[in-house]
């Protein structure tokens, strides 16, 4: 895939991450996409796209740990989303 095609794909994913329909997911995934999507490689972008095909409620439950992550999504991308959310929560508590 060309760099231009990957850049366009990432731009679409940023938009899709912000406007999913479930506010909590919009906030978490939108922030993640803005902060990290540019640095993901093509394979990681594919894993992120696959994750976004799941329901918002499932994704949210996996991120906050209220449900176990299925093996198909137990990867570096979801781990990065979770660590980003944990760091954000800690910074809010420190205030």
pLDDT tens per residue, range 76-89: 999 999 999 887 77
Range 62-73 average pLDDT: 96
Token readout for 2 is 């060309």
Whether residue 48 contacts residue 77, with contact meaning beta carbons closer than 8 Å, is answered with yes
Q: Domains in the chain, ordered, with CATH? A: 3-93 (1.10.150.250)
What SS3 class is residue 67? coil
Token readout for 95 is 């205030």
| φ and ψ of 69, to 5 deg | -80, 125
d(CA 66, CA 56): 13
Output the DSSP codes for 8-26: HHHHHHHHHHH-SS-HHHH
pLDDT tens per residue, range 27-67: 999 999 999 999 999 999 999 999 999 999 999 999 999 99
Task: Using pLDDT thresholds of 50, 70 and 90, give the confidence band for residue 94.
Answer: low
- pLDDT at residue 93 in the model: 66
- pLDDT at residue 88 in the model: 73
d(CA 71, CA 25): 20
pLDDT tens per residue, range 2-34: 878 999 999 999 999 999 989 999 999 999 999
Return the closest-CA partner of residue 81 out of 44, 17, 32, 41: 32
- pLDDT at residue 95 in the model: 64
């Amino acid at each position: 895939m060309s760099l231009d095609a990957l850049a366009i794909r990432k731009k679409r994913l940023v938009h899709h991450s912000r406007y999913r329909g479930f506010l909590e997911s919009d906030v978490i995934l939108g922030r993640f996409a803005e902060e990290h999507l540019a640095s993901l490689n093509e394979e990681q972008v594919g894993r992120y796209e696959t994750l976004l095909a799941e329901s918002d409620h499932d994704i949210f439950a996996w991120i906050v740990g209220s449900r176990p992550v299925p093996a198909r999504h137990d990867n570096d991308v979801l781990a990065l989303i979770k660590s980003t959310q944990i760091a954000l929560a800690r910074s809010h508590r420190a205030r």
